[in-house]
Structure 1
Amino acid sequence: MLFSSGRLAKLKYLSGSYEVVTRGDHVVCAVTGQPIPLDRLRYWSSELQEAYLSADIASNRYAAVRAEGRI
């Protein structure tokens, strides 16, 4: 996915939705560092306040953090 323009948004991730804290058009995947356009944002953790590029990345991140005992 190529995405090189725009402004970084800051979000508060809730269970099933999110609130825009600072307007923008994308967020950054907490694992890969890749930008995620807000219109394509589908995966995040309200517990960790992180966004993820895909379901696989989200699932792997959750498993890793759980194994560390952080959640």
Structure 2
Amino acid sequence: MNRVEFPGRGGGEAVIEYLDGDFQVVKSGSFVRCAITGQTILLPHDLKYWSVARQEAYVDAAASLEAEQRAHGRR
């Protein structure tokens, strides 16, 4: 994670590259949006769930599970 990117974050939406066990800030911002709920996820501390394959963030484990089910046609 690029902690250097977060001070003075600005108020906008960040662009993130999701990696295995980490993420890289592409464009600074104070939040990302959950791909399932649309809720904001504050950076860096609230971002705990994401998909490397789909390059999406999720607000919680339930949203992550729903994304996985949708990706595999189970919903």
The answer, yes or no, to whether TM exceeds 0.5 is yes
Partners in 2 of 1:66 and 1:15 — Cα distance?
Answer: 20
SS in 2 for 1:40: coil
**Unmatched runs of 5 consecutive residues or more in structure 2:** 1-9
Question: What stretches of structure 1 move > 3 A for 4+ residues in a row?
Answer: none
Contact 2:36-2:66 within 8 A present in 1 as well? no
Where does residue 37 of structure 1 map in the other structure?
42
Which residue is equivalent to 2:33? 28
Partners of 1:57 and 1:32 lie apart in 2 by: 7
Match of 1:46 among 32, 42, 52: 52
Give the number of aligned pairs. Answer: 64
Match of 1:44, as an amino acid?
W
Deviation, 1:67, is 2.5
Q: CA deviation at 1:7?
A: 1.2
The answer for the alignment partner of 1:7 in structure 2 is 12
Cα RMSD for the two superposed structures? 1.5
Q: Distance in 2 between matches of 1:47 and 1:35?
A: 21
Identity %: 39
List gaps (5 residues or longer) in structure 1: none
Q: Distance in 1 between matches of 2:37 and 2:69?
A: 16
Q: Which amino acid aligns with 1:11?
A: I
